Amino acid sequence: MSHELEADKGWRIWWKLTRPHTLTASFAPVFLGTMIALYDTNINWTLFFAMLFACLLIQAATNMFNEYYDFARGLDSEKSVGIGGAIVRNGVKPKTVMQLALLLYGIAALLGLYICYESSWLLLVVGAISMAVGYLYTGGPYPIAYTPFGELFSGLFMGMLIVLIAVFIQVGSVPNFAILLSVPSAFLVAAIMLSNNIRDLVGDKESGRKTMAILVGRKNAVSILASYFIISYVWIIGLVILQVITPWTLLVLLSIKKPMHAIKLFREKEKPLEVAPAMKDTALTNTIFVFLLGIGLLIGYI
């Protein structure tokens, strides 16, 4: 049996339950938004860390909701790939997973109240909607993740909205500059979700899901994934050519080997374990691309 499918012990059970490889999808947009805000104001680092931890907690809790509801619906087993495995492999009670997720949501909500107090209470509504989407992604009677709209919601809420909120809490507004720079982040977060659905296409189809990957077919889904990557890179190149952003942002091109490898592997392999590295490369593309974009903005500012 692959090491990935073995039972874990001690702290590793709880660490894997958070699905740590996905947490960078929260860090990267907060960092990018803060670097964008640097062009308009001095950074309040307390607010930065408050939002960063809130986003990480919400992401971890969302992953736990996913673990709980996939188990409750009979979708996860000991052989399932890409899950934390706390319930099906490590014997953690489902109730405990749900309680832990709600606890993390509670802590994130307290951090959110502090952020609202320091910036604007309008964010209370935005934050509540974002947390609701996190829960409804796999929870509730009609989980978003089981529909063709999973990539859309994840891209808008995890990719774009986090960037814009990170800017707003620092600046007090959302410049057009910020909206333009949040677009690649939206596509790359959507790519993470799409790569997950490509990997799980067969199992998802058997369980009755209607993801975009299932509706368009595997070959077309991989092509759409490639288009997400292409749009992200071309978008930044275009903004540089139009002199909207500093040429230093072309540092994002240093990450291009990751998506190329991911697409190549998805086209050559189909088994979930075989394409796991492609999923990892997709997640790393988001992290490295967005981080380099933020670094480029920082260098350009200095």
Does a structural domain hold residue 61? yes
**Cα–Cα distance list, 58 to 119, 214, 225, 285 (Å):** 20, 28, 25, 21
Mean pLDDT of 164-192: 94
Question: pLDDT tens, 42-66?
Answer: 999 999 999 999 999 988 888 888 8
Taking the C-alpha atoms of residue 21 and residue 31, their distance in angstroms, rounded to an integer, is 17
Structural domain of 178: 8-301
Question: pLDDT tens, 235-285?
Answer: 999 999 999 999 999 999 999 999 999 999 999 998 888 998 999 999 999
Does a structural domain hold residue 2? no
- Please give the structure tokens belonging to residue 174: 């959302």
Max Cα–Cα distance, the chain, nearest Å: 56
For residue 139, which phi and psi values (nearest 5 degrees)? -100, 175
In 184-299 the beta strands, taken as DSSP E runs, fall at none
Q: Which domain CATH number covers 110?
A: 1.10.600
Question: pLDDT tens, 123-152?
Answer: 999 988 888 888 888 787 888 888 999 899
- Is residue 161 over pLDDT 90? yes
Matching residue, tokens 């978008």: 235
Does a structural domain hold residue 95? yes
pLDDT range class, residue 120, cuts 50, 70, 90: very high
pLDDT in the model for residue 237? 97
- Sequence-separated (6 or more) residues with CB below 8 Å from residue 300: 245, 246, 247, 248, 249
98 sits in the region (left: phi over 0; alpha: psi -120 to 50; else beta) called: alpha
Does a structural domain hold residue 3? no
Taking the C-alpha atoms of residue 254 and residue 252, their distance in angstroms, rounded to an integer, is 5
- Is residue 90 over pLDDT 80? no
Torsion of CA 274, 276, 278, 284, to 10 degrees: -160
Amino acid identity of 239? L
Number of domains in the chain: 1
pLDDT in the model for residue 287? 92
pLDDT range class, residue 171, cuts 50, 70, 90: very high
- Sequence-separated (6 or more) residues with CB below 8 Å from residue 189: 25, 29, 154, 155, 158, 159, 286
Does a structural domain hold residue 162? yes
Mean pLDDT of 225-242: 97
- Is residue 276 within 8 Å of 14, Cβ to Cβ? no
Q: Is the dihedral of CA 29, 30, 35, 38 positive or negative?
A: positive
Does a structural domain hold residue 230? yes
Does a structural domain hold residue 141? yes
For residue 272, which phi and psi values (nearest 5 degrees)? -50, -45
- Sequence-separated (6 or more) residues with CB below 8 Å from residue 273: 2, 4, 81
pLDDT range class, residue 1, cuts 50, 70, 90: very low
Residues of the chain with pLDDT > 70, as a percent, come to 89
